[in-house]
Amino acid sequence: MVDVIAFELNSFVDNENMKKICSEELMNSLAKFDLKISKDQGANIFNRLCKKYEWDDPAILKEFLLKIEGKVDEKKLGRALISFRNIITNMVVPFSGIKTIVNKLKENGIDLVLFGNRSKVKLWMWLASMGLDDNFKYVFGDEDSLKLLKDTYKREDKQILLVGADNEIIKKAKRNGMLTCFARYANLAEGKGNADFEVRTVSELGE
C-alpha cells in the first residue's frame, strides 16, 4: 500500500509558465535603462540562456547583460536581481488543482515529499510561498538522490509513489523500487515511457 508520494518538481510547479513570467518581469525591470534592444529581443536572449542555466539561477543575469552590452553594469544587475527574488519567492505557479490534491492527500494520511533539481532551501521557499510547506515532510534537492529518498523511508518496493514529468526520472525511480506515475498534464510532448501508469489531469492523482 502506498503511504508516501514524492512529487518530482516538474510535475508540481509549472516551470515553463514561471520561466515566461520571469522573462517578462526581467524585461520590465530593465525597461528604464537604455539597453538598445526590444523586449522581444531580450526575451529571446533570456530563453536561449535558459538552455544553459535554470531560469531562476542568478548567474543567468550576468551573462544576459554581458551578451547585450559587453559588460556587466552593477546597477542594472541589482535591478534584475530584485525581479528574480520576487519571482522566486512570490510568483511560484503550481499546476492548477495541485493545492487541492495536496490537502486531500495529507488529510488521508499520506506523507508528501517534493523532489527536484534545486537546493533544498529553494524548494522549501517555493512550498512556503504557496502555503504548502506544512503539508510536506521532506524535500530532496539537487544534492540528494532517489536512493536517499528510499533509504529515508525504508519502505518495501511499491510503497513509495513517484509522480514525475520526465521519463529519465521515472526510470531511476523504478530502479529504486518505487511505483511510478507519469504526469501527462505537465509534459504533453514526451513520448510514452515505462511508468506504471499516467494521469492526464491533476485531479486524477486523488483517485
- Give the model's pLDDT for residue 143: 59
CA pair distance 169, 207, nearest whole angstrom: 23
What's this model's pTM, rounded to 2 decimal places?
A: 0.82
- Give the model's pLDDT for residue 193: 73
Helices (DSSP H) in 91-130: which residue ranges? 98-107, 120-129
Copy the grid coordinates of residue 178. 518505487
- Give the model's pLDDT for residue 182: 93
- Give the model's pLDDT for residue 125: 87
CA pair distance 155, 98, nearest whole angstrom: 25
Residues 6+ apart with CB under 8 A from 175: none
Say yes or no to pLDDT of 187 above 80.
yes
How many CB atoms are located within 10 Å of the residue 90 CB? 8
Q: Which of the residue ranges 42-56, 79-93, 122-136, 161-175 would you say has the lowest mean pLDDT?
A: 79-93
Say yes or no to pLDDT of 192 above 70.
no
Say yes or no to pLDDT of 88 above 90.
no
**pLDDT digit string, tens, across residues 11-22:** 999 888 888 888
**Helix (H) or strand (E) segment spanning residue 181:** strand 179-183
Q: For the purposes of burial, counting CB atoms within 10 Å of the CB of 49, is it exposed (0-12), middle (13-18) or buried (19 or more)?
A: middle
| Helix, strand, or coil (residue 142) | coil
- Give the model's pLDDT for residue 7: 94
- Give the model's pLDDT for residue 92: 81
Copy the grid coordinates of residue 66. 554581458
Side chain identity at residue 202, one-letter code:
V
Copy the grid coordinates of residue 199. 494521469
Q: State the Rg of the chain over Cα.
A: 19
Q: Averaged over 74-93, what is the pLDDT?
A: 79
CA pair distance 115, 140, nearest whole angstrom: 5
**pLDDT digit string, tens, across residues 124-154:** 988 998 889 999 999 998 656 787 888 888 8
Strands, DSSP E only, in 63-152? Answer: 111-115, 138-140
Higher pLDDT, 135 or 87: 135
| % pLDDT > 90, the chain | 22
Choose among 28, 77, 26: nearest CA to 47.
26
What one-character DSSP code corresponds to residue 184?
G
Q: How far is CA 176 from CA 9, 35, 72, 110, 161, in A?
A: 18, 49, 45, 20, 11
Write down the residue that cell numbers 526510470 correspond to: 171
